[in-house]
Amino acid sequence: MSGGPLETAEPDEPEIAVGSDAFVDRGAGLEVAVVGAGAVGATAAYDLAREGASVTLYEKGGIASGSSGRAAGVCYNAFADGLDADIATDAIERFRTLSGDDTFPFTECPYVWLVREGDDRRADLIRGGIQQMQENGVVALEVGPDELAERFPDLRTDDVAVAGIAGAAGYTDPARYTACLAAAASGYGATIETETPVGVRTDPPRVVPTADSNSVDSEREYDAVLVAAGGHTKALLAAADVSIAMKPYRVQALTATETIAEPMCYDATGGFYVRPHETGLLAGNGTETVETDPDSYERSANPDFGSSLVDRISHRFPGLEDGENAVARAWAGVCTATPDQDPLVGEVASGVYVATGFQGHGFMRAPAIGARVADQLLGGDGIDRFDPTRFDGDESFDIVEGMDLDGLE
């Protein structure tokens, strides 16, 4: 689950400097609909609009009212695969470039992932993964418990077998980022249609009113339609007779009043992550590896989730108070899975594009994925490995937790 923001705030139109990264009107004369105003959709809308395309961004609720508003805001480059590392590098650099007092915060913070003694398989995965990261030019360091304790004295390390430290990492407020990019897209001329549910159709690409639409009373054709609607993407495309190999699944997170300064930490053996947050700390796990309905899932966390997770966090950060009283808020959100744990990004039918299936890493990848899918809509090559048509759409597969270290194998 890539959540932190508890309220979705829409700032005034931000002053985002485009600078040397400015596009040159490749989209002039192109009409594009983006369905889904989460982090990926808002970023793509921004990149398309500043390229000169005529963009309409549709959202059934408010900006970042879905998964992006419930994401953790953890951003790091700890990927052994070259493509994943490149995307993470681009995303973090863009977070840094776009962040500021008038936009959204991005706080640099080391990211540590570790396994405990006796967890030999995961320890080997960390060691091998860090070696691959270094070969790919990723700034990552393997450390043992003593060195980890010296660097982070508030972190318990006596049961740590091995840990990694990512040099490029930080955290931000996902709702503020998303609202910022949507506002910036509007500044470049995009039309933002919130509280406006729509359907999608193909041949030709278009959006159509739904039974509960209140501002769309007729279908509208576009040169291209991008569906970046998180867990709802599958159903939206199914209504257009397009099947994709994606499953939404439920995850849980919380904020607690106890404060940590650094690092952000993923305890792979304990199965949880934690980062600093303005209210104290933010943490999560609680992944349920079964397909869920993104419209009717339980948005509150399970009754015992908060106290159980805080107890485990206090094992890793012994200075924290444990128990239910430390929990400020707990909630659930939806992530999306694919058969091979790679996302579905690209053209899925003539003129219809998709961006989904991020295994909980959608927000942290949004600045880079939004740029890449926008480029593809404008005639670029896209990302071959993420081509959504690599699957038939009716595959049977198990949901795998996005942060699991098996991806390092």
Tell me the pLDDT tens digit for each residue of 351-361.
Answer: 999 999 999 99
pLDDT given at position 16 = 56
Helices 39-50 and 174-187, packing angle to 10 deg? 20
pLDDT given at position 106 = 97
Give the distance between the most distant pair of CA atoms in the chain. Answer: 65
pLDDT given at position 10 = 41
pLDDT band at 371 (very low <50, low <70, confident <90, very high): very high
pLDDT band at 321 (very low <50, low <70, confident <90, very high): low
Choice between 57 and 209, residue whose per-residue pLDDT is larger: 57
Tell me the pLDDT tens digit for each residue of 21-37.
Answer: 445 589 999 999 999 99
- Contact (Cβ atoms closer than 8 angstroms) between residue 142 and residue 130: yes
- Contact (Cβ atoms closer than 8 angstroms) between residue 207 and residue 67: no
Choice between 10 and 60, residue whose per-residue pLDDT is larger: 60
What gap in Å lies between CA 381 and CA 124, rounded to an integer? Answer: 36
**Fold of the domain built from segment(s) 27-71+174-246+339-408:** FAD/NAD(P)-binding domain (3.50.50)
pLDDT band at 158 (very low <50, low <70, confident <90, very high): very high
Tell me the pLDDT tens digit for each residue of 254-290.
Answer: 999 888 889 999 999 999 999 999 989 999 987 899 9
pLDDT given at position 211 = 77
Q: Among 3.30.9.10, 3.40.50.620, 3.40.50.720, 3.30.420.60, what is the CATH number of 108-167+248-334?
A: 3.30.9.10
How confident is the prediction for the chain on average, in pLDDT? 91
pLDDT greater than 80 at residue 19: no
pLDDT band at 297 (very low <50, low <70, confident <90, very high): very high
| Residue 71: partners with Cβ closer than 8 Å, 6 or more residues away | 1, 2, 3, 4, 5, 39, 174, 333, 362, 363
SS (H, E, C) the chain: CCCCCCCCCCCCCCCCCCHHHCCCCCCCCCEEEEECCCHHHHHHHHHHHHCCCEEEEECCCCCCCCHHHHCCCEEECCCCCHHHHHHHHHHHHHHHHHCCCCCCCEEECCEEEEEECCCHHHHHHHHHHHHHHHHCCCCEEEECHHHHHHHCCCCCCCCEEEEEEECCEEEECHHHHHHHHHHHHHHCCCEEECCCCEEEECCCCEEEECCCCCCCCCCEECCEEEECCHHHHHHHHHCCCCCCCCEEEEEEEEEECCCCCCCEEEECCCCEEEEEECCEEEEEEEEEEEECCCCCCCCECCCCHHHHHHHHHHHHCCCCCCCHHHEEEEEEEEEEECCCCCCEEEEEECCEEEEECCCCCHHHHHHHHHHHHHHHHCCCCCCHHHCHHHCCCCCCCCCCCCCCHHHHC
- One-letter amino acid at 229 equals A
Domain-wise residue ranges, the chain? 27-71+174-246+339-408, 108-167+248-334
pLDDT greater than 50 at residue 11: no
pLDDT greater than 50 at residue 56: yes
pLDDT given at position 129 = 95
What gap in Å lies between CA 119 and CA 116, rounded to an integer? Answer: 6
Question: What token pair was written down for 379?
Answer: 């005639």
